[in-house]
Amino acid sequence: MTAPPVLQNVKVAVDNCIFTVVDGRLQVLLIRMRKKPFEGMWALPGGLIDEGESLRDAAARILKEQAGVSGLYLEQLYSFDGRKRDPEGRVVSVAYYSLVPPVGLALGTTPKYEAVRFWDCDERPRELAYDHEAILGYAQARLQAKVQYTNVMWSLLPPRFTLRELQTAYEGVLNRGLDKRNFRKKILSLGLLRASGKKSKGSRHRPAMLYQFASQAPTAVEVF
């Protein structure tokens, strides 16, 4: 707060870890870069913030552009300044993560990137561009912690789902198995779910009750 230099020569970027869960496997959206320094490498979608755009707006824009959805769960993660991608000046990267359900997505087909797809977090390319390895690791740790004391898991699921699907999603994020009966007891005791009709299509076994969330608002509850 002393007299600031007129030119600080710093740029601010936002990177977004977009997660979903398919069949109990945690997936993250990666893009394949076209431009020179990291050509052909996979990376998190991101970019410099626009003039007059807030950090959160920038993260939401990236989410919209790449996954075709908006209004979903979006949380700031951490700010990293390790990367020196730009020879003339440093870049501070503010990382966000988003949670989207595995349906209703329209993956961005912008010419900006060579490819866009979800990767299973356990099978993704080992090396990512910039410091995105670190960012993604951080995001996974945060998500893992967060599903255990909030209801953010809601955001990873479609509007209606079976208890088994919900449990499988938890198992995928937490990377460990859960006891079926204890899980049901716990989840139902929270009183955040509402039942509806039954499911039949495409199962050659007993149909399961479909549930939906009573409220979409983020709530801090001890799930585990």
Partner DNA sequence: TCAAAAGTGTTGCAAATACACCCATGT
Partner DNA sequence: ACATGGGTGTATTTGCAACACTTTTGA
Strand partners, 97: 17, 75
**Position 76 contacts a copy of itself (CB under 8 A):** yes
Which stretch of DSSP H or E encloses residue 75? strand 73-80
Region of 60-68, 130-138, 147-155, 180-188 interacting with DNA (CB under 7 A): 180-188
Cα separation, 161 vs 210, whole angstroms: 5
Given DNA, a copy of itself, none, residue 48, with its beta carbon under 5 to 8 Å by kind, binds a copy of itself
Q: How far is the CB of 149 from DNA (least distance, A)?
A: 11
Q: How far is the CB of 5 from a copy of itself (least distance, A)?
A: 7
Cα separation, 71 vs 56, whole angstroms: 12
Given a copy of itself, DNA, none, residue 200, with its beta carbon under 5 to 8 Å by kind, binds DNA
User: Is 11 within 8 Å of 89 (Cβ atoms)?
Assistant: yes
Among 11, 124, 142, 199, binds a copy of itself (CB under 8 A): 11
The residues, ordered by sequence, that sit 6+ positions from 219 with a Cβ below 8 Å of its Cβ are: 150, 151, 192
Q: How far is the CB of 169 from a copy of itself (least distance, A)?
A: 24
**Position 189 contacts a copy of itself (CB under 8 A):** no
Which stretch of DSSP H or E encloses residue 79? strand 73-80
Residue 173 structure tokens: 């994020």
CA 88 to chain centre: 31
The footprint of DNA on residues 105-164 (CB under 7 A) is: 162-164
Q: Which residues bind to a copy of itself, rule: CB under 8 A?
A: 1-2, 4-5, 8-12, 33, 35, 43, 46-49, 51, 54-55, 76, 78-79, 81-82, 86, 92, 94, 112
